[in-house]
Amino acid sequence: MRFFSRSALNPGVEPRECFYWALFDAANSGYSTVVLTAVFNAYFVSVICGGADWAAFGWSTAVAVGNALSMVLMPVIGRMADLKAAKKRWLAAATLLCVVATGLLAFSGPGAWLWASVMIVLSSLGYNVGETLNSAFLPEIARPEAVGKVSGWGWSLGYAGGLATLAVCLAMVLAGRSAGADESILVGASCIVTAAIFLVLAVPAVFLLKERSPAQAESLSFAQAWRDAMAELRETAGLLKDHIDFARLVVCGFLYQCGIATVITLAAVYASAVMGFGLVETLVLVLLVNITAAVGAFFFGYAQDRLGHKRALALTLLVWIAMVVCAAAAESAPLFWAAANLAGLAMGSSQSAGRAMVAVLAPAGRLAQFYSFWNMALWLSAIVGPMTYGAVTWMTGNNQRLAIAATGAFFVLGLAALALVNMERGRRAALCADAGTAAG
């Protein structure tokens, strides 16, 4: 546990607890890497849907529905988690949902697009809720001046977890190929392995993280929580006029996360349809990209505390723009591999920077509320971005080069929105809000 420096942690937080928190990032990264990025998305398009022109749009729609449900339910869950100090309880339920639905993806086969879509909806819902609740622990664990560093620890360990899960799946696929196993069996086995690793790595966080925020209500029905959540959502939206820099960050996050969500959801589809990559090549590609992402997220966590969160995020968005240019122009494998590794370098870094910036701009007494609002914007981006890509391919007869080029616009617009964010002014607004709450 020496890796997790005590000097970066709040008083009373032990390094091992920070490790348990970061380990959850490793757990859910296996799901996003194998199911959403490397294996199941390309399998859904090419095998389950038979490579139809609407297949990429169908995959995007399934992911979008899961994110839409997350947007609807997370404010309620965030409300209940805050008032009853029950983040861990909801974290456990979300983990179980994602694990079970991921395992059930193993029963998908050619033509079973409805079953696969339902399981993707449920698993992505569990993944999104769990990721949000785990992020809400960050300000309780890290000192304010070290949130970037600690967030980077989580992201880097997360990519290491995704890397390990992917490596196990790659070894299994290679062994299965040698034995003559059918691709459907190999993909199904990958889903089961991913679910099992997720469960094992999530257990420490689910059982051993400490709830430090006191409960504000002993009992709260779901219906009341829904009414309160809607009122709270309206209240949060009303607070944006006093937290203008948080509001601008939300707009920025929505825009650049549209691009990131598109890359995560459809990178393997692009590699298969445009570059002619097979299952093994795609697994190797994503495996190496995860190494780049883990290294980038780790070192970037230190860099962003030195550079400043805003400047560091701007740097990563420039890398994303370069990635899109390379991917759209790639006619040969080397340039595409370069584009993929640029994506890996920027992926964890940009997401880590965004999460750390929210910790600076959110009032300490409204952490779950503001993180829920932030994540709602990200889930909306995970609907808009991939569906934009899918719609472009459908309307242009499966022209995926045009679709990836269109994705670059999200990063350009995100960079423009970031220029309007004033971190110091936003930090003062958050501190004033906390002071006003304490005085009240």
User: What is the rounded average pLDDT for all residues in the chain?
Assistant: 85
**What are the residue boundaries of the structural domains of the chain, listed by start?**
13-210+221-439
Each residue's pLDDT tens digit, 174-224: 888 888 888 888 899 999 999 999 999 999 988 888 887 766 666 667 777
pLDDT of residue 91: 92
Is residue 75 over pLDDT 90?
A: no
pLDDT of residue 32: 87
Mean pLDDT for 249-258 is 94
pLDDT of residue 146: 78
Percent of the chain with pLDDT strictly greater than 70: 94
Mean pLDDT for 126-143 is 86
Mean pLDDT for 328-343 is 89
Is residue 439 over pLDDT 70?
A: no
Question: Other C-beta atoms within 10 Å of 428: how many?
Answer: 12
13 pLDDT band, cuts 50/70/90, is: confident
345 pLDDT band, cuts 50/70/90, is: confident
Percent of the chain with pLDDT strictly greater than 90: 28
- Three-state SS string over 58-97 comes to HHHHHHHHHHHHHHHHHHHHHHHHHHCCCHHHHHHHHHHH
Q: Are the C-beta atoms of residues 261 and 313 closer than 8 Å to each other? A: no
Each residue's pLDDT tens digit, 296-335: 767 776 777 777 888 889 999 999 999 999 999 988 888 9
13-210+221-439 sits in which CATH class? mainly alpha
pLDDT of residue 225: 74
pLDDT of residue 429: 86
pLDDT of residue 76: 82
